Amino acid sequence: MNKVLINTLRVITVVIFLALVPILFYFKEGTTLVWTILIPLMPIGLLLIGFSRWREICPLALISKITQHIHIIQKRKVPKWFEKNFWSFQYFLLFLALSLRLTTLNYDSDYLALFFIFVVLSALTINLFFTGKSWCNFFCPVGTVEKIYTLSNAKNFMHNSACGTCTACKKNCPDIDLESNYWKEGASPQKSFVFYSFSGMVFGFYIYFYLQSGSFDYYFLGEWTHNTVGMFSSGFYFAPFVPVVIAAPLTLAFFSLVTFTLFHTLESYLYRKHFFRNDSYETIVHKVKTVASFMAFNIFYIFAGAPTYALHPVPYAIFYFFVVSISSIIMYREIFREEAYFIQERFALKIIKRWKSNKVIPSNLKEIYYTYINENRNKKDRLKTYKSSITDLMQEGILTENSMVILEKLREQIGISTTDHNNVMQLIKLRNENLFDDSIEKSREKRYQEKSYKEVIENALNEHLEIDQSYLKSLQKQFCISDEIHKKIMDSIINNNEKIHQDILNLLENIHNLLELKNSIYNDGTREINFLKYSIKNEFIYTSKDLFTLLFTIYNEDKKSLKILLNISKGKDVRNSFVMNKTNLSFMHESIADKMLSMYTDFLSKKRKVTLNNNKEIINKLLSHRSIQIATAALLNTKNNTEIFLSQTILDRFCNTNDIDLLHLLYKLKYSTDNITTYERMMYLHSIAIFKNLKLNDLYLLGQTTNVVHFQENHYIINQGEMGKVLYVLIKGAAIVEVDGKETARVGHREYFGEIALLGDTKRTASVKVTQETTALSINKKEFKLFLHNNPKVSTKVMKEIIKKLI
């Protein structure tokens, strides 16, 4: 089932579920709609789409996810009592819900609406306090019915409904692997009681309509949907003195015990009489459960929906035939199922995972072994595959030392002798002692939980996202990962993730190249070259940030050393507190430490002599630099260097961008227009002290707020005594400063004035008159304040620079 269809079904089921409340409040026939039309469709839908897909579209499960992802309260796993007794607890809640139906909810749509609201609030509350799918797995009464009707969900292992952030909330999680869950819970007395008594509970529920009224017409003709029955109304037609509130649950309990006794007796008889000679006790219990499930399902459909569907006899007959056919197919598929087949198939899946042959993989998993032995004659490879598969199955809790006997025939089929098997097991014990320690939990959900947690961290590292200690702690809480498991996972990432190692080495190489580049450019004092060096520095800062984000995450226990290395990357002198050598970098992977040392030695030993002639060659190369920002800064340098060759390939690179401001710059250079583009404004702003230390992104935002203004000779840009509202940055021309009509200073390009206007509502303390044609950038006070408001970190830096100038 593809994602589009699943998402569509999710929307449909949630809309229908939420619409029930207003329908029940405002329509008298609401209860008839729910109990005789909607509810009868659910079990057959569950069987048709399968357990996992149903859990993905169940409206109540989807709604409960709202609080599943809210972490206001520290979530925890349900108490151990629930782990041991959840079958009994959920079944008891189902018993209460059915009793409530017979006493109240069948007859009063208002109460039914309130009941649905109560259930929704309960689901939200449960998932607010407990992790994962605690509502679905431990509290939802329907959860019991889902598992009874789907049994082992045989062979539907290719799909699961596991949480994205698995917290291993339940041992043997049915959402990860229902069949594994089914066999691991085995012949649990609680589980057997639920399966065996459920058909009696269903029968008791519908037969109560007869016991209450003395006629089947009361149910099948739908008379009950129009009657109002109180809790203390007459409960039995033959014993009117017993109230409904006692009669209804008493009926459910009686018939539940009857069918439990019937199936339990059948189970004991079949086992004692060796009716199925080669079957284990667990297999016999499974067969009886299958029959009990089949009976419950068909009893349900004898009655469910009949008051409405029976009005249309032909469609109802077709529908009922369809129901019986589906349930019979499910029973046939399940009744011959054994735990041995389950383990054999999972073992086959492990072989498929390591399948190297070009031959098509057989669809029948039992044929895998024969095909595998024919395709792989190399005994060493077979032993390696065997060992890996056994290890995986043991880690997932599917295979134990006791169930290893199931694989005896399979070993023969793939050419593994008893001696080979014993040698493999010894090797597994030596390398994986935990697999044989009964005190350590081994289950697929535990492995899935740790795998999900590891994937989140690796994805963050691969994207170079900043991961600090608080983020890791919140992740641990979200996934319910202990410090010990976290350390184990981080060690595996450090030691085994080649991609992250390569990312770090690539970042180190990029930093090396950027430093080489910055130190190779001759500073000729032009704004263009200064802006180019600034762009390179900015790229260095972001690359360095990516690098140390990775380093601080994977070497979290060596923060002190990493902070010193970070200071070295910022150009700070730390020689008194840290010596760069292999010993001090021993906490790192050897290849990373070697790269750092070679870079450090390289820059200590090299003495660079650069000349103006170097710049043209470097700028030509930088036009093709991987960083578009550095390439753009290099492009700005071509304006005054006509000798730099702009090839069509380079022009195409800039033309194929979505950056409108870059296209404007390219157009200007190509056609020699007079407009001043955003990137040029950034360059001019960077050339003055108050904006020199802004980050490139902040400078870009500021550049977009500026306006270009032109003034003729002798024009007064600022008049003394007027209110200041604009700051000016001269980019061409000259001006003089006058106080009380006397010249006090001269202003040239790369200088600014009017900055006091940015500090407060004050009057101009001087006048500024241009002495020749002048072009300037103007920054409006209102826009500048908005810029500072949106960039609070920039505000402090700018104000400090302005105060420095005033002092």
| pLDDT value for 488 | 80
**Can you say whether the dihedral through the CA atoms of 615, 616, 617, 623 is positive or negative?**
positive
DSSP string, 113-127: HHHHHHHHHHHHHHH
Do residues 223 and 309 both lie within one domain?
yes
Flag whether pLDDT at 5 surpasses 70: yes
CB 90 within 8 A of CB 105: no
Range of weakest confidence among 12-26, 356-370, 435-449, 467-481:
356-370
Which amino acid would we find at residue 139?
Answer: F
pTM: 0.66
Place of tokens 């339940």: 170
In-domain check, residue 74: yes
Do residues 73 and 216 both lie within one domain?
no
Do residues 193 and 323 both lie within one domain?
yes
In-domain check, residue 191: yes
Start-to-end Cα distance in the chain: 71
Which pair of tokens denotes residue 429? Answer: 């014990």
Q: Cβ of 17: how many Cβ atoms within 10 Å?
A: 17
Do residues 251 and 292 both lie within one domain?
yes
In-domain check, residue 375: yes
Cα gap 159→176, rounded to integer Å: 8
Do residues 217 and 333 both lie within one domain?
yes
Range of weakest confidence among 274-288, 474-488, 690-704:
474-488
pLDDT digits (tens, 9 = 90+) for 424-439: 888 888 877 777 776 6
Taking alpha carbons only, the member of 357, 354, 99, 104 closest to residue 247 is 99
Flag whether pLDDT at 187 surpasses 70: yes
In-domain check, residue 344: yes
CB 680 within 8 A of CB 653: no
Which pair of tokens denotes residue 298? Answer: 């068909």
Do residues 361 and 239 both lie within one domain?
no
In-domain check, residue 67: yes
Q: Cβ of 281: how many Cβ atoms within 10 Å?
A: 13
Which pair of tokens denotes residue 306? Answer: 């009949």
Give 110's pLDDT tier (boundaries 50, 70, 90). confident
Place of tokens 């902040």: 698
C-alpha distances in Å from residue 172, one per residue of 148, 318, 393, 462, 696: 16, 38, 13, 31, 52
Taking alpha carbons only, the member of 676, 547, 408 closest to residue 667 is 676
Give 282's pLDDT tier (boundaries 50, 70, 90). confident
| pLDDT value for 587 | 82
| pLDDT value for 300 | 92
Pairing of strands 707-711, 774-780: antiparallel
C-alpha distances in Å from residue 675, one per residue of 666, 667, 671, 775: 12, 10, 11, 11
Cα gap 735→741, rounded to integer Å: 14
CB 18 within 8 A of CB 11: no
Which pair of tokens denotes residue 219? Answer: 């149910």
Task: Enumerate the H helices of 637-695 as residue ranges.
Answer: 648-655, 660-671, 678-686
CB 146 within 8 A of CB 140: no
In-domain check, residue 417: yes
Across the chain, mean pLDDT equals: 83
| pLDDT value for 439 | 64
82: helix, strand or coil: helix
| pLDDT value for 366 | 63
Give 339's pLDDT tier (boundaries 50, 70, 90). confident
Cα gap 105→31, rounded to integer Å: 8
CA angle 114, 116, 121 (to 5 degrees): 95
Q: Cβ of 251: how many Cβ atoms within 10 Å?
A: 23
Give 604's pLDDT tier (boundaries 50, 70, 90). low
Flag whether pLDDT at 714 surpasses 70: yes
Do residues 190 and 270 both lie within one domain?
yes
* Average pLDDT estimate for 145-159: 81
Domain boundary (150, 178, 202) is at 150
Q: How many helices (H) and strands (E) does the chain have?
A: 36, 8
* Average pLDDT estimate for 218-226: 80
Q: Which residues contact 750 (CB under 8 A, 6 or more apart)?
A: 527, 687, 688, 730, 731
Q: What is the number of residues in the chain?
A: 807
* Average pLDDT estimate for 1-17: 80
Do residues 47 and 143 both lie within one domain?
yes
Flag whether pLDDT at 27 surpasses 90: no
* Residues forming a β-bridge with 709: 776
Flag whether pLDDT at 242 surpasses 60: yes
| pLDDT value for 466 | 63
Range of weakest confidence among 32-41, 506-515, 523-532:
32-41
Give 262's pLDDT tier (boundaries 50, 70, 90). very high
Q: Which of 291-295, 558-562, 759-763 has the highest mean pLDDT?
A: 291-295
Cα gap 162→173, rounded to integer Å: 8
Give 247's pLDDT tier (boundaries 50, 70, 90). very high
Which amino acid would we find at residue 153?
Answer: N
| pLDDT value for 361 | 60
Q: Which residues contact 578 (CB under 8 A, 6 or more apart)?
A: 561, 564, 565, 568, 584
Which pair of tokens denotes residue 651? Answer: 């022009």
* Residues forming a β-bridge with 770: 735
Do residues 206 and 322 both lie within one domain?
yes
Helix (H) or strand (E) holding 217: helix 217-220
Do residues 216 and 275 both lie within one domain?
yes
Do residues 251 and 268 both lie within one domain?
yes
Q: What is the DSSP letter of 724?
A: P
| pLDDT value for 605 | 58
Radius of gyration of the chain (CA): 38
| pLDDT value for 362 | 62
In-domain check, residue 175: no
In-domain check, residue 271: yes
Domain boundary (396, 431, 466) is at 431
Which pair of tokens denotes residue 660? Answer: 């409108």
C-alpha distances in Å from residue 582, one per residue of 507, 572, 589, 590, 591: 20, 20, 11, 9, 11
Q: Which residues contact 710 (CB under 8 A, 6 or more apart)?
A: 773, 774, 775
Flag whether pLDDT at 175 surpasses 70: yes
Pairing of strands 734-739, 716-718: unpaired
CB 148 within 8 A of CB 201: no
**Can you say whether the dihedral through the CA atoms of 548, 551, 555, 560 is positive or negative?**
negative
Cα gap 534→698, rounded to integer Å: 13
User: Is 571 buried (19+), middle (13-18) or exposed (0-12) by CB count in 10 A?
Assistant: exposed
Do residues 617 and 738 both lie within one domain?
no
Give 412's pLDDT tier (boundaries 50, 70, 90). confident
Helix (H) or strand (E) holding 729: strand 726-732
739: helix, strand or coil: strand
CB 349 within 8 A of CB 365: yes
| pLDDT value for 231 | 80
Task: Enumerate the H helices of 414-570 as residue ranges.
Answer: 418-431, 444-462, 469-479, 483-496, 498-520, 527-554, 559-569
Give 365's pLDDT tier (boundaries 50, 70, 90). low
Percent of the chain with pLDDT over 90: 18
* Average pLDDT estimate for 382-387: 82
| pLDDT value for 682 | 92
| Number of domains the chain contains | 5
| pLDDT value for 372 | 66
* Average pLDDT estimate for 382-392: 83
* Average pLDDT estimate for 658-683: 86
* Residues forming a β-bridge with 76: 130
Cα gap 699→690, rounded to integer Å: 11
DSSP string, 404-457: GGGGHHHHHHTT--HHHHHHHHHHHHHH-GGGG-TTS---HHHHHHHHHHHHHH
Taking alpha carbons only, the member of 184, 182, 195 closest to residue 156 is 182
* Average pLDDT estimate for 561-589: 75
Flag whether pLDDT at 702 surpasses 90: no
Q: Which residues contact 738 (CB under 8 A, 6 or more apart)?
A: 720, 744, 766, 767, 768, 769
760: helix, strand or coil: coil
Q: Which residues contact 127 (CB under 8 A, 6 or more apart)?
A: 64, 65, 66, 67, 68, 133, 134, 135
* Average pLDDT estimate for 391-410: 79
- The strand order across the sheet containing 716-718 reads 716-718, 767-770, 734-739, 742-748
Give 139's pLDDT tier (boundaries 50, 70, 90). very high
Domain range for 785: 676-806
Flag whether pLDDT at 401 surpasses 90: no
Pairing of strands 767-770, 752-753: unpaired
* Average pLDDT estimate for 703-713: 91
Cα gap 118→107, rounded to integer Å: 18
* Residues forming a β-bridge with 738: 743, 767
Flag whether pLDDT at 155 surpasses 80: no
Cα gap 805→807, rounded to integer Å: 5
DSSP string, 268-318: HHHHHTTSSTT--HHHHHHHHHHHHHHHHHHHHHHHTTHHHHTTSHHHHHH
| pLDDT value for 216 | 87
Domain boundary (630, 659, 694) is at 630
Cα gap 5→93, rounded to integer Å: 32
Range of weakest confidence among 348-357, 368-377, 587-596, 617-626:
368-377
Flag whether pLDDT at 495 surpasses 60: yes
